[in-house]
Structure 1
Amino acid sequence: MKKPESYLKLKIFFLISLLAVGTFLLVAQKTQTDQKHQKILSVLFIGNSYTRPLPTMIQSIVKINGTHITYRSLTPGGWTLRKHSESEETLEAIHERKWDFVVLQEQSQLPSFPEEQRRKEIYPYAKKLTDEIRKAGATPLLFLTWGRKHGDIQNIPDDTRSKMQTRLLEGYQNIAKTTFSEIVPVGLAWEAIHSLDKNIDLYTHDGSHPNRNGVYLSSLVFAFHLVGLSQLNTPPITGIPEETAELLAQQAKALTLSP
């Protein structure tokens, strides 16, 4: 005897429902597994306009490598570590949660100034900030920036980018020794790229701030440092040729620096 058509429809509906529920449970289980294996980091960025464009790019790069970064940025234009050390907002941000890392970036010229000036204008304030960072349970990181495209010609008429980078490196190494902090060697990656291919421009029109290439390179250096992987999958970047992106990634990976 043939079963009623309504019975067959009910049976098909029941089977489809079971399949849907099973699929949902499998997806939910996979999502939970992925979340368990995904590394989560929290980062506070303290600096100025050099730091401002980086966190979003860093977040995108590490995300496709299994790490999720939550971050906050305090980057008023031209600010020094002294200004940040005297800012209630900055000090409160350091203690507002248990950050994994707090990145400190000094004003772009100050670390390249003579040692006597650095002792007065940088070290006491860098130490105050790193002390507060450690009290809050986080690890301080120093963002070694890049020399300006034509050097610091405002203060040294015959300066060059490379000469300024050498002074910046010395300045940040001394800050690192004073504060017992790690350096993220972004500026050295910029110097390496200039030595390898002078046709790759990393600067905006002002010869100071990073263009898209510069932001990508800087973010890659941070991504390698924060995630600690020997390899990184890198997302395609609009406006950056594939060969250029590969070269930037290679140089970012090659750099390690200890205080």
Structure 2
Amino acid sequence: MPSESDRQKDLLQEAPVAEAAPHYHGHRARLRARFRETGGQGMPDYEILELLLALAIPRRDVKPLAKDLLARFGTFANLISAPLDQIEAQEGLGEVAAIALKTVREAALRLLAAEVMQRPVISSWNALLDYCRARLARESREETRVLFLDRKNVLIADEGHGKGTVDQSPLYIREVVKRALDHAASAVILVHNHPSGDPAPSRADIDMTRDLATALKAVGIGLHDHLVIGRQGHASFKSLGLL
């Protein structure tokens, strides 16, 4: 018959051993505390990215992954602006984390859009340029958007009107005119990007803009401006004397 000491040893052997918390849990708690205190101001990009990745990948140390992603894409902005499939294909990421990153970009765009929608474009021109750059400057393909203005030049709608290749994007003039009439717009602003980075208008850009201006004028709608967005800046047809 086992002695009392033997029974106690058996109980000790059978008792579950509490697992130590992974080493990165304390690090995450400190990051969250810093974010709470500062709102994120002053924290480097890799720490903000690390906090975000930790929400999508809770059971892994994501600090090395955050630094690796920034090294590959160059900047936080480049990372969240990359195509979803390109982000998802990165080693260490999956669908959940990739969608989390793209959600951040969409939230940022909506925040910027809130600064310009339902406001006169003249008084919010710099905010409008910030929004257009954030939406289009890092796109890998040309994309065209049309901004619709009412008679007081208040921005009432923003619509995408086609994605193309690295150096051209289709624009259907009749569709732009139709949508302008649907919105009861008095003027429109055409916006598209140059993935090459150089915002200088091409000959095709100039010819298409003149055709659009003529078609809009026929139904009493003005072409307020055509903005070309590139990573190196932007070009305004109005400022260049092309409208």
User: TM-score scaled to structure 1, two decimals?
Assistant: 0.30
Higher strand fraction: Structure 1 or Structure 2?
2
* Structure exhibiting the larger radius of gyration computed from Cα positions: 2
User: TM-score scaled to structure 2, two decimals?
Assistant: 0.31
